Amino acid sequence: MHTSDTASRPAPFPFGNQNPSASLMPEHRIEDITIDVPLVHDDPSRGTIEVFARVITAPGGEDRPFLMYLQGGPGSEAPRPAPGQPAWVARLLEEYRVVMLDQRGTGRSTPVGLDLPFPPAPERTFREAIEHSADEVAEYLTHLRADEIVNDAEAIRRHLGAEQISTLGQSFGGFTTLAYLSAHPESLREVLITGGLAAVGRHSDEVYAETWRIMREKSEAFYRRFPHARDRIRELMGLADRGEIRLPNGDAVTPARLRTLGHRLGSDDGFVALHNLLELDHRAPAFQHDLAALLPFTGRNPLYAVIHESCQADGIVTDWSAERTMPQDFHEDPTLLGGEHVHRSLFDEDSELAPWKPVAEILAGHQWGRVYDEDALRSAGVPGAAAVYFHDAFVPSVFSLETAALMPQVAPFVTSEYEHSGLRSSGDAVISHLIDLVKGRRVR
């Protein structure tokens, strides 16, 4: 294991031996870490991958404890901070040294991409490996979920020489935190969770059925606010059905994919962003580019689509759970929008996700192992605080509160003030509230 400062491997950026990250926040100390970890921690013979993390230390904060940020997703790298931004990072740096971990398969942690080398057979790209054996690629992707991310976090913790670390888990990062508490509670000093108390002990069908119900409410609330938007959505759905809605890369947007625009209704700024898109002519470059930016499942982060349902799979087979549980009125009314609901047509031929279709089909039938241990969660004893957004479109609060009841040491902060994006959209309000809760301070 080594830091990138002493690595002999080629630098992934054209800066020679310099560390370009140092210029991101020049007043802070920045350390980039790249370590080799087993693909399968229980079977080192399967080979290794790289895991990247960035450690940020504020001036005078050299002795502060480490806090590791666990990103939402699955399939997204950690954000790249700039001076004072995002505000929640600046707030964390007042209390901690912050470790920004790129989940395995993302960012600079041996990323997954069609034209990138396939690690078990690096002479092939992922695209070529899928053509050769989709089963082999699917099996590889089964090792990119929360349980192995926890093992990577443990490797980073040991590399830092820290007996314990704190964590902040956003959305899927909260799911990963629960896996961490299930497997290695002794390594955790305290945990903060935002919109990420997973539905422990629930089947994915129950979760997706509830998120469809929530999306019905959010769709109707959107049309009450913007009454003319419903007719516009209906018009666009008809155009999409005729193949007339296209992205700048040439992708045809099917009605099922267009429905995922409802994903934006799960964020605090989403109502306005969707309204602004609907004002534009669908043939205009502005519409096409803005639509591409608003759609959730794209080729930039293919894992977000390909392994998405695995994050709701605790010892089950999902079998296209979100698609199967879509209510009848959604089938009948195309103006009822969806959220984080993956469906087969995302991988149709006329899409940059199309090459992943055989892999996605295999994973839909995969028997996923368990990642949460209810008894371990009850007995972990790790102090923490968790923001539960009452109207969360992606992590239903009804199940989050059930999970919170398993962990008496984790104080829930239930709020209807923010949507799922509250960590970002609140500035530093949500994170400050959680820090005060976990440290026993008077809440601001």
Domains contained in the chain, CATH given: 2-104+143-201+372-438 (3.40.50.1820), 204-364 (no CATH)
Confidence band of 23 (pLDDT split at 50, 70, 90): low
- Please give the full DSSP string across 301-339, using - where no structure is assigned: SHHHHHTGGGGG-SSS--SSHHHHT--HHHHH-TTS--S
What is the reported pLDDT for 348? 85
The percent of residues above 90 in pLDDT, for the chain, comes to: 88
What is the reported pLDDT for 335? 97
Model-level pTM? Answer: 0.93
Confidence band of 256 (pLDDT split at 50, 70, 90): very high
Taking Cα atoms as reference points, which of 305, 338, 342 lies closest to residue 213? 338
Taking Cα atoms as reference points, which of 1, 112, 98 lies closest to residue 55? 98
The percent of residues above 70 in pLDDT, for the chain, comes to: 93
- Residue 337's contacts (CB-CB under 8 Å, 6 or more residues apart) are 215, 218, 219, 222, 233, 259, 260, 261, 262, 265
Mean of all residue pLDDT scores within the chain: 93
What is the reported pLDDT for 324? 97
Question: For 241-257, what is the mean pLDDT?
Answer: 92
Q: Residue 260 in contact with residue 267, Cβ under 8 Å?
A: no
- Own/partner pairs for 246-254, CB < 8 Å, 24+ apart? 246/288, 247/288, 247/291, 247/292, 247/295, 248/285, 248/288, 248/289, 248/292, 249/292, 249/352, 250/350, 251/350, 251/351, 251/352, 252/350, 252/351, 253/291, 253/295, 254/345, 254/348
Confidence band of 8 (pLDDT split at 50, 70, 90): very low
**Quick check: 444 pLDDT over 90?**
no
**Quick check: 286 pLDDT over 70?**
yes
What is the reported pLDDT for 43? 95
**Quick check: 359 pLDDT over 60?**
yes
Q: pLDDT tens across 308-337, in order?
A: 999 999 999 999 999 999 999 999 999 999
**Quick check: 22 pLDDT over 60?**
no
Q: Residue 293 in contact with residue 247, Cβ under 8 Å?
A: no
**Quick check: 26 pLDDT over 90?**
no
Q: pLDDT tens across 35-88, in order?
A: 999 999 999 999 999 999 999 999 999 999 999 999 999 999 999 988 777 899
Confidence band of 251 (pLDDT split at 50, 70, 90): confident
